[in-house]
Amino acid sequence: MSDDNTCVVDAVYSFDPTYGYTLKQLLAIKPPHEPKDFDAFWQTRYQQAIRVDPRPQLRLIHDNKDGRKIFEIRYTSTHEFPIRGWLTVPVSGTVKRGFIVGHGYGGRDGPDMHLPFTDAALLFPCFRGLALSKRAPISTEPYWHVLHDINDKHRYILGGCVEDVWLATSALLSLYPETQGRLGYLGISFGGGIGALALAWESRIRKGHLNIPTFGHQPLRLRLASNGSAHSVQHYYRHHKKATLSVLRYFDAALAAKRITIPMHCACALFDPCVTPPGQFAIYNAIAGDKKLLILDAGHSNYPNQAQQEHELSNQLTVFFASLSDDTPD
């Protein structure tokens, strides 16, 4: 997975991207208080979403690239929102499992070809308003996209992006019913936070991976300096405090993570100028079930040990998701 919101680790920041937290302190962060109707709010949305027919359509654009066929895909999400992206499948052999792959706030301009899942159907949706799924009046700029309808919890853009994951799941199962019980999710940064919100309720996905996920612990996200989308939200919050927090409480990935019951793999960074490490670890810590953690030196950054850690992450994901190819996946 790639993320386009990249900062530089040796740059000069007006704040400390570790925020002064030690690893011990990061692993002790608890999620914030939650709205009493948090479950009802999301369960209602999920039940409505899975009744939508995604009507996926494919167009072949490459019949063999690195051993994979590449299609453009279009499917219908909630409120008839057209979602576009890419789907790749192996040129030869059978499809044994499937993955939905979420992107960072920079969007994506193509499928990730480096993922180590050669026997899988890989769906790369562009979340509503971004990249191939852009549509006026939603801004494609993260600074403005993250504020779209932030004054209304029922219309806030993040909720629609979560629904795009659920409809991606429906679309993939429609195209490849043999992947039922063998689906995984991978999301980085924006896609990591959206993934946590989606996986809390999505029973059709069996394993998930969140890489430097955002939207964790909204009260901290509103308070800690950031160069990412949180900076935009903080600026808006200063002028609309009560109304903003009343909505964001429903879009807290750490609160959602408390509800995730499937096995999870997380990669969280100790240094990150765009997505605060305390928010990342709040999500990981909140997962009550089976979980694994890879600690990264930095996120949204270039850093000396990056290639080695990315290689280790790829190896861990190969092992973690291997059971989805088994005859009797767990």
Domains of the chain: 7-321 (3.40.50.1820)
Return d(Cα 279, Cα 310) in angstroms, integer.
21
* Alpha-carbon span 137 to 171, nearest angstrom: 26
Cis amide linkage into residue 177, ω under 30° from 0: no
Which DSSP letter does residue 278 get?
Answer: H
Burial (CB count <10 Å: 0-12, 13-18, 19+), residue 118? middle
Chain centre to alpha carbon of residue 83: 16
Q: Summarize pLDDT for 300-322 with one digit per residue, the tens.
A: 999 999 999 999 999 999 999 99
Interhelix angle 157-175/38-49, nearest 10 degrees: 40
The Cα–Cα gap between 65 and 172 comes to 21
Q: What angle do CA 69, 130, 249 make, to 5 degrees?
A: 120
What is the pLDDT at residue 93? 86
pLDDT above 80 (res 88) = yes
Mean pLDDT, range 147-158, rounded to an integer: 97
pLDDT digits (tens, 9 = 90+) for 9-50: 456 788 999 999 999 999 999 999 999 999 999 999 999 999
Q: pLDDT: is 99 or 7 the higher one?
A: 99
Of the pLDDT bands very low, low, confident and very high (cuts 50, 70, 90), residue 264 is very high
Average pLDDT over residues 151-169: 98
Residue 5 confidence (pLDDT): 47
pTM of the model: 0.94
Q: pLDDT at position 327, please?
A: 60
**Range list of β-strands (E), the chain:** 7-8, 57-65, 68-76, 82-90, 97-102, 120-125, 183-188, 207-211, 264-269, 291-296, 301-302
**326 confidence band (pLDDT: 50, 70, 90):** confident
Percentage of the chain lying above the pLDDT 70 cut: 95
**Top-confidence residue, 4 or 66:** 66
Q: What angle do CA 82, 83, 86 make, to 5 degrees?
A: 140
Pairing of strands 68-76, 57-65: antiparallel
